[in-house]
């Protein structure tokens, strides 16, 4: 059984080598080996016969219009898109004033901070102690930024005022036990 496996592997390897040799020579059915610059030409002619377009490398030497350098709009992909014909409003909406309904401001996202307490030293410096929903303990004085999202505005005995960064909204977080 091992000898059969080895024979099969040698046969597959021979087929792969024969196929690569056929592909390298450009599909020459005579099997004549072409070496040197003529091999490159033979490969090109085989590619042209297979319908692969030839790249015109002679165009590299020619220069484009020098006056247009830097003036082309890279987002202009052709002509202007066709403009759709104007659509008349439905008759039911054409008569009467249009009522606008003001949208309510979005509800603030839930605050994931709990105020545990405050520590004050002899000079009167207060530090607020806060805890996130992931049980991280944060500390800060008035004006400090905590959790890269909240700024401490004022520290009281039973609450702390916190402002969300990017908005003017100030929230009061009451003192919580546990």
Domains of the chain: which residue ranges? 2-49, 113-174
Q: What pLDDT does 159 receive?
A: 92
- DSSP for 61-128? SS---GGGTTTS-TT--SSPPPPPPP-PPPHHHHSSPPP--PPPPPPPPPP-EEEEEEEE-TT--EEE
What pLDDT is stored for residue 49 in this prediction? 66
Nearest one of 112, 149, 146 to 129, comparing CA atoms: 146
Element (H, E) at 159: strand 159-164
- Strands 150-155, 145-146: pairing is antiparallel
DSSP 13-37: HHHHHHHHHHHHTTS-TT-----TH
Looking at residue 140, its pLDDT comes to: 93
Residue with tokens 């219009």: 65
Residue partners of 88: CB distance under 8 A and separation at least 6: 94
Q: What is the pLDDT along the chain (178 residues), one digit of tens a residue?
A: 556 888 888 899 898 988 888 888 775 555 455 555 544 555 455 555 677 788 888 777 766 655 556 676 777 776 666 788 888 777 665 556 667 777 777 776 777 889 998 998 888 889 999 998 889 999 999 999 998 889 999 998 899 999 988 888 899 999 876 5
Hey, what are 152's tokens? Answer: 């401490």
Count H helices and E strands in the chain, helices first. Answer: 3, 7
């Amino acid at each position: 059984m091992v000898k059969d496996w080895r024979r099969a592997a040698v046969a597959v390897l021979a087929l792969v080598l024969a196929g690569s040799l056929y592909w390298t020579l450009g599909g020459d059915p005579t099997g004549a080996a072409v070496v040197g610059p003529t091999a490159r030409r033979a490969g090109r002619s085989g590619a042209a016969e297979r319908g692969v377009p030839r790249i015109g490398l002679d165009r590299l030497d020619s220069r484009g219009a020098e006056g247009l350098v830097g003036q082309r709009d890279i987002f202009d992909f052709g002509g202007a898109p066709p403009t759709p014909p104007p659509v008349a409003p439905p008759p039911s909406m054409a008569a009467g004033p249009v009522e606008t309904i003001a949208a309510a401001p979005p509800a603030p996202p839930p605050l994931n901070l709990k105020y545990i307490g405050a520590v004050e030293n002899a000079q009167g410096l207060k530090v607020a102690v806060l805890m996130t929903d992931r049980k991280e303990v944060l500390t800060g004085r008035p004006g400090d930024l905590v959790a890269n999202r909240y700024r401490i505005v004022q520290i009281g005995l039973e609450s702390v005022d916190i402002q969300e960064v990017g908005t003017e909204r100030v929230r009061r977080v009451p003192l919580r036990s546990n």
